[in-house]
Amino acid sequence: MHLLVVEVQPISILFVLVFFLFTEDWIKKNWGVYEFFFLFVGSIIAVTVYLLKLHARVAILIQEVLINIRWRNFISLYGRCGFRYRITGDFTDPVEGLIVVSERNTAGRQVYFYARFPGGKRAFGNRVFDVARDFQEGMAAVKEKWSAGVDSAFHIYPDGRPAYKQRYGYVGDFRCRRAVAHLVDNNGTVWWFHIGPDGHPAYSELYLLVSDYSEGFARVQDTDRKWRYIKADGEPIFDKSYDGAEDFSGGEARVMIYSEDGQPNTMLINTQGKPVGSFE
């Protein structure tokens, strides 16, 4: 591809020469000899500079597209965040200089690994994961090879080191220095909660469901199936519960309560639990 670009330059300059060969008399007659000379030289310089810039851009493009050719996979390329690329499967944007790449191993199982951006060099040796997510707040959620009854989800640093010793059935991305996690008890019940950057639970309570933190607050569903809002330390932000609740956005959240006749009523609340709009 580089050779092709190099060959285009003399071809384009030859085109300029042919153009001026056929238009020389007309230009000299209407513009003069000096104008012809400056126009001729300027055109060659302009075409050469343009092609050199084009060559540099194409060279960078090729270097990025042909990432680590020993993967022997076609990499498709298109815009946003530098570029995205695909290797036989999913792709992500680069975060912390790393890209999540998916591929099928020799057994036909979908696995994930990290590649460095730019350059495409495979990170962390030949290490692969059953789950690998983008880095958020300096850590990425991963899950090693799954086996029944074994918790294997945790977070890693950009250098591949585990962020903590604990292992969970699931961990999510960090938001507001808290990440969703769950464990399964001996009865098979899944309990959800949040962990901190050290891997320890952020509070002692367990819930049926929890959400990511948004604007410093998270939604949790207790065993009574009611939704409440908690702070980073697990304490409720106010003593109210709802049949349905959404994340806070701009200091407001939409909540829902069933009336006595079973009709859903919704309203907006602020971070003190006070209505900012009437029930619909």
CA dist 64 and 82 (Å) reads 10
Handedness of CA 158, 164, 165, 171 (dihedral sign): negative
User: What's the rounded Cα separation, in Å, for the pair 58 and 76?
Assistant: 15
- Rg for the chain, CA atoms, rounded: 30
**Would you give per-residue pLDDT tens digits along the chain (280 residues)?**
333 333 344 555 566 566 656 666 665 566 565 555 666 666 666 666 666 666 555 555 554 544 443 333 333 333 333 333 444 344 556 677 888 888 887 777 888 999 887 777 889 988 999 999 999 999 999 998 766 567 799 999 999 999 999 999 999 999 999 999 999 988 889 999 999 999 999 999 999 999 999 999 999 999 999 999 999 999 999 999 999 999 999 999 999 999 999 899 999 999 999 999 655 5
CA distances from 18 to 28, 43, 47 (A): 16, 12, 14
Contacts of 126 (CB under 8 A, 6+ apart): 113
For domain 203-280, give the fold.
Thrombin, subunit H (2.40.10)
* Sequence spans of domains, the chain: 2-65, 203-280
